[in-house]
Structure 1
């Protein structure tokens, strides 16, 4: 178990460093270098993933709170609430990224093309509503989590070393699960629909380019690279999210948490926020060019 905990530390450290790099890069781009419409979404996603990793277990914010002598109950409520909000924001912003990329690459004759000229305005409004929705949606969790006590396990479910979920009415528990599942199913459905749409557009474009004998132009297309990156992120997100959701939902319904299962869930939960920035860094030509310039200077 200790070796697996080291893996979690490595995964979390790598994810935080990569996301911080992206956060600073996109902030720098947004503040002064003619940002692309997607840069604002990517910047938000990096920030969300940093907080998601920090609150994804006992090891990060817990240590910070202990150094500040913060009470366990407040510590549990704060970390649990922030983590739930960030998980919701992660799926919402990933969905938004998929939708807006579909709009961006839509041909001028398509129905979605009419949204292109107001993309930035729609994006800012969408991000505002997404943050507002998730901050309020997860607020009920504050009342059902707190510091672990010596009460019987029937009255609480230990979810970390210091925190536990308190008993809740079956109706409330079912209602929370239904609402969360409905949100996630809808957003994943939107992601899969826009992903299928983008795959069709790429296939048609590739077929047309082959016909025109200009396949080299297609390979060099920044739009195609960005679309392929987002398609990869969506597929990876859907797989990881539902594995995580299945584990957490089963645990809540059965009112039990196995320590090994909890450790596996932490690994799965941090997989997407840790891998996402690495995929984005390797596929963004601007970052690659900056790294090439820095490499040439040091050599």
Structure 2
């Protein structure tokens, strides 16, 4: 493995990756701050706000660690030691799993929230934030239990070159495993992630079915079929479909690119595309949440007004 030539010299790759990380960090910071403030300020705080805060926080931390990893990929000359490599790369891999767990929990919570009173899921509607936090951390522990093997495979290879290592950064690589161990851990990983994505798909399909039925009932009772203004239910349906479709498409593309990278022996272009695609959801999804929730827009408007007033007052323009 020649580490000097593993990454493309094209600066467009670097600009794209660092731009994606910067935009994603900014958007997730705004989303996390807005939902956390709304959760504590509103008289009847919604558990779903806490769940979105969890999702935005995991995506924020994921992109921050990706920024550090990208710096070692493109800028530094392999200065990380063994401890830094193992800790940061493993933490980044866990955050990718936590992001999947948070997205899965969010879709399940949406299902509970939108369920009709006659549904057996109604009893889960008013669970306390402690239940939401417990469910999230339980999913995270489940994910970690299947990823512990990666911790011992990450090594510092700043002064080593070998065709058998899988390149990660200028400082770090992943040790190869035997065919039997690779097959076993791959099967566990596929089972785990297929289970979580199946939960997301089923909950999203259930929600869309409920919202479609509600829309038909409203149209029948109020004759709103000719109304050009979209209802909250329609906006919710679009948000759910957009997020779920985007997540599944990116996940499948992620798998295809990763397999292509493995087949073509760590090709630099496949590696770069894999990094960009695998972090696209964390970068784009916050904008979907922000622009589909009028509460966030109003909150950001009020916050910007406060900041402007503070700036004017500090400059001597206030009363």
Taking structure 2 as the reference length, the TM-score comes to: 0.82
**Distance in 2, Cα, partners of 1:204 & 1:29:** 30
SS in 2 for 1:117: coil
Q: Retained in 1: the 8 A contact 2:65–2:92?
A: yes
Residue 267 (structure 2) pairs with residue 232 (structure 1): no
**Normalised TM-score (structure 1):** 0.87
User: Hey, what's the Cα distance between the residues in 1 that align with 2:229 and 2:109?
Assistant: 21
- 3-state SS of 1:212 partner: helix
Aligned residue in 2 for 1:110: 119
Structure 1 residue runs without a partner (length 5+): none
> Is 2:258–2:270's contact at 8 Å kept on the other side of the alignment?
no
| Greater C-alpha radius of gyration | 2
Deviating more after overlay: 24-33 vs 139-148: 24-33
Identify the match of residue 295 of structure 2 among 266, 286, 293.
286
Give a deviation string over 1:166-222, Cα, whole Å, max 9, x none.
Answer: 12121111111111111111111111111111111111111111111264699443x
Q: Does residue 1:132 correspond to 2:172, yes or no?
A: no
Q: How does 1:44-63 map to 2 (within 5 A)?
A: 44-56=54-66, 59=69, 62=72
SS for the counterpart of 2:246 is helix
Residue in structure 2 matching 1:248, options 253, 258, 266: 258
Query: Displacement, 1:294?
Result: 5.6
Question: Which secondary structure does the structure 1 equivalent of 2:56 belong to?
Answer: helix
Q: Distance in 1 between matches of 2:286 and 2:18?
A: 17
Task: Choose the corresponding residue for 1:179, options 177, 188, 193.
Answer: 188
Is the 8 Å Cα contact of residues 46 and 277 (structure 1) preserved in structure 2? yes
Q: What does residue 81 of structure 1 align with?
A: 90
1:43 aligned residue: 53
- Rounded to whole Å, the distance in 1 between the matches of 2:282 and 2:266 is 23
Alignment RMSD: 2.8
Q: Secondary structure at the match of 2:193?
A: helix
Deviation, structure 1 residue 59:
4.9
- 1:146 touches 1:163 (CA, 8 Å); kept in 2? yes
Q: In proportion to residue count, which structure has more helix?
A: 1
Displacement, 1:18? 0.6
Q: What residue in structure 1 maps to residue 315 of structure 2?
A: none
Post-superposition CA distance 1:140-165 (Å, at most 9, x none): 21111122255553431223332211
- On the 8 A contact 1:101/1:227 being kept in 2, the answer is no
Farther off after superposition, 257-266 or 117-126: 117-126
Q: Is the Cα contact below 8 Å between 1:85 and 1:135 reproduced in 2?
A: yes
**Paired positions, count:** 293
Contact 2:34 / 2:300 at 8 angstroms: preserved in 1? no
2: CA distance, partners of 1:103 / 1:51: 27
> Per-residue displacement from partner, 1:228-257 (whole Å, max 9, x unpaired)?
3233212111111221133334545x4821
Q: Post-superposition shift, 1:58?
A: 5.8
Counterpart of 2:5?
none
Q: Distance in 1 between matches of 2:16 and 2:145?
A: 34
Partner Cα distance (1:199, 1:226) in 2 = 9
State the partner residue of 1:19. 28
